[in-house]
Amino acid sequence: MQRATANRLTPYMFMAPAVVIMVIALLYPLGYMVWGSFRDWDPSQTIGEAEFVGLKNYITLWHDPNFRESLGVTLSFAFFVVTFEMVIGVGLALLLDRNIRGMSVLRTLFILPMMIAPVVVGLMWRYMYHPTVGTFNRFFEAIGLPTVDWLGANALMSVIIADIWQWTPFIFILSLAALQSLPRSALEAARIDGATGWQQIIHIKLPLMMPVLIVTGLLRLIDAFKVLEVILVMTEGGPGLSTEILALRISRTATEFRELGVAAAMSNYLLILLLFITVMMFAFTRWQEMRANRLRAAVEGDE
Amino acid sequence: MPNIHLENLIKRYGDVEVLHGIELEMADNEFTVLVGPSGCGKSTTLRMIAGLEDVSEGEIYIGGKPVSRLEPKDRDLAMVFQDYALYPHMNVARNMSFALRLQKRPQAEIDKKVKEVAATLGLTDYLARKPGELSGGQRQRVAMGRALTRDAATFLFDEPLSNLDAKLRGQMRAELALMSQRVQKNMIYVTHDQIEAMTLADRIVVMHGGYIQQQGTPEELFKRPVNKFVAGFLGMPPMNFLEGEIFERDTGVFVSGDGFDLRLAADKAAAAKAHQNKEVILGVRPSDLTFDADASKQEALTLDVMVSEYVGAQSVLLCRCGPAKVMVEVNSETPVALGQTLTFAVNPNGVHLFDRHNEVAI
């Protein structure tokens, strides 16, 4: 009897070290943050000294126009960034899914932006956007076009462009991989059935790529909500609050305004949002697995 | 239906030429089977007709019109692929109607056509299913249904049965034969399976190494192969080959080698005389050998029986004749014991002779 119990416990004993590390490294800070978000907490205090205020931080935030604006900036940033990146990335993949000489070199070049550290990307674009000596405005001047106030009046658009430049390759690579794993013969059958290039894309390629595209899009969406460095380096959230995305506002609330409780509450709002997207993603993959299982069962039933 | 003509068709991949000037004329409504071992160029030829591969040189005419620069969709043909190539995200009905939907035909017409074809193929109950929910045989049927719905002038089949198990393959082969009688269309069928070729074809085209070896009706090819390759490729169990030489004696013209000395029938003898004292290969099909203890030595092979394979009504005996192995097809009732040396009469019309150097029939 005792041996049986010991046997049953063995797997848990092996898992214990990993669980301990998870609790210390993941759950403890998370719990600390949630706990802190219910307190009026200044960095000079320990968390025990801080006054418990219940949901006050959350309610204040909910009615805070600055927070709302920041949330709006984050949402529109994520929306535009993911939309454009998906369209451009998938489009490029569709264009480059062929055997041309030097294609492997071209593909490597395409994915370079993704491999550069975000801070460097931010600095690079900041110089290129510079109103007088920046690459873009000098170019516009040279060909006689009016210059653009990149990081001033059009700051949000400018950071969106930089992010698109950096992260389109991610979608490009995954779409290209998806495209190249499509069944060749189905595409040939479509050609014989009379599908033009466009019809092949719309009726065959895109529907077959869809599972990969959905997961890719959700991954990018999660990432876009957390973006920080590039914008911090390029605009520091300005001018005004025009590019102050949530991650940036959280860091400033904690360090400049010294309101740790509010920052923690804000983090939790972001966490809830991301959790929602992640759960959707899991639900989607689960649904796909279930569908695959059902298909398999149906086939086996027939044979 | 338009006839198809291949004129000096050449295919190169880089510097490698894989098809060397294919000349082929297919009559209206003919069931043509391209058959040959892997890598013989049969699939490439079919894919060039389909428009899925570029033509390096030469021309393809469909109904007298050169089509080698046309897109597949402009050649009025339908194709069934080896792996079925169904659209996995569409149900059976949508798979079958894809071409018609692209042509923007009226919905009522599409529905009618799909229903009609589904009924003939026994797919009516499966129209709402996706390909993933079907068994291999059903998928194969959908692939054929998709081709039939098109109503194209020419049907191309690229090894359509090779992904099925043996039993289902036999069944689908019979259905295909029925279908080809019912729908009068040009059919071009690629296979490596000589049984499919023999049973389905009006005309067989045997290919090897990028060349057409021989074309004709199954009977012509079976009875009068032009070279050793065709002789060995068609027929199951395959033809036996024995190395020998031609000698003329007072009693007639003989082909003799290690373990045999066979007198040739008059018509063969005349042709063989020209090859006197030359090295030849004697070819005899297993079915042209009959157990006959009383046969004269000059009209028979004497063989040592090594193995007997019982396959029901027939048995295949694996025997030895000198250094060579010879297969004999006998009635299973024939009293044969392993290790015996027996005499098998040779059907005089079943004697084939090939030049040993260029392997061409004499």
Q: pLDDT by residue (tens digit) across A216-254?
A: 998 899 889 888 888 888 888 778 778 888 888 888 888
Count of domains observed in chain A: 1
Q: Does a structural domain hold residue B53?
A: yes
Q: Does a structural domain hold residue A301?
A: no
For residues A267 and A218, what is the distance between their CA atoms, to the nearest angstrom? 20
Mean pLDDT of chain B: 90
Question: Do B343 and B265 belong to one domain?
Answer: yes
Residue A298 in this model has a pLDDT that exceeds 90 = no
Size of interface A-B (CB pairs under 8 A): 78
Enclosing domain of residue A240: 65-294
Q: Does a structural domain hold residue A26?
A: no
Question: Do B201 and B258 belong to one domain?
Answer: no
Residues B240-295 pLDDT 10s: 999 999 988 888 888 988 888 899 888 888 888 888 888 899 999 999 999 888 88
Q: Which residues contact A265 (CB under 8 A, 6 or more apart)?
A: A37, A57, A58, A61
For residues B244 and B267, what is the distance between their CA atoms, to the nearest angstrom? 19
Q: Phi then psi for B53, rounded to 5 degrees?
A: -125, 145
C-alpha pair distances (Å), A197 with each of A93, A130, A187, A200, B97: 14, 42, 10, 5, 19
Touching check for A295 and chain B: CB below 8 Å? yes
Q: B178, B209 in Cβ contact below 8 A?
A: no
Given an 8 Å threshold on Cβ–Cβ distance, is B52 in contact with A188? yes
Question: Do B142 and B163 belong to one domain?
Answer: yes
Question: Do B198 and B337 belong to one domain?
Answer: no
Touching check for B134 and chain A: CB below 8 Å? yes
Given an 8 Å threshold on Cβ–Cβ distance, is A189 in contact with B79? yes
Q: Does a structural domain hold residue A48?
A: no
Closest Cα of chain B to A180: distance in Å? 16
For residues A129 and B124, what is the distance between their CA atoms, to the nearest angstrom? 64
Q: Does a structural domain hold residue A20?
A: no
Question: Do B192 and B252 belong to one domain?
Answer: no
Touching check for B13 and chain A: CB below 8 Å? no
Question: Do B36 and B151 belong to one domain?
Answer: yes
3-state secondary structure of A299: helix
Tell me whether strands B240-249 and B65-66 are parallel, antiparallel or unpaired: unpaired
Q: B230, B213 in Cβ contact below 8 A?
A: yes
Q: Does a structural domain hold residue A208?
A: yes
Residue A100 in this model has a pLDDT that exceeds 90 = no
Supply the pLDDT for residue B152.
87
Q: Does a structural domain hold residue B314?
A: yes
Supply the pLDDT for residue A303.
46
Closest Cα of chain A to B321: distance in Å? 47
Question: Do B124 and B250 belong to one domain?
Answer: no
Question: Do B287 and B327 belong to one domain?
Answer: yes
Question: Do B228 and B250 belong to one domain?
Answer: no
Sign of torsion over alpha carbons B335, B340, B343, B345: positive
Given an 8 Å threshold on Cβ–Cβ distance, is B87 in contact with A189? yes
Mean pLDDT of chain A: 87
Q: Does a structural domain hold residue A168?
A: yes
CATH number for the domain spanning A159: value is 1.10.3720.10
Tell whether ipTM is more than 0.90: no
Q: Does a structural domain hold residue A59?
A: no
Question: Do B66 and B180 belong to one domain?
Answer: yes
Question: Do B202 and B331 belong to one domain?
Answer: no
Question: Do B301 and B350 belong to one domain?
Answer: yes
Q: B234, B198 in Cβ contact below 8 A?
A: yes
Q: Does a structural domain hold residue B362?
A: no
Enclosing domain of residue B225: 4-233
> What distance lies between CA B105 and its chain's CA centroid?
38
Count of domains observed in chain B: 2
Q: Which residues of A touch B82 (CB under 8 A)?
A: 185
Q: Does a structural domain hold residue A274?
A: yes
Supply the pLDDT for residue A301.
55
Percent of chain A past pLDDT 90, that is, above it, reads 26
Q: Does a structural domain hold residue B128?
A: yes
Query: Domain boundary residue among B206, B233, B260?
Result: B233
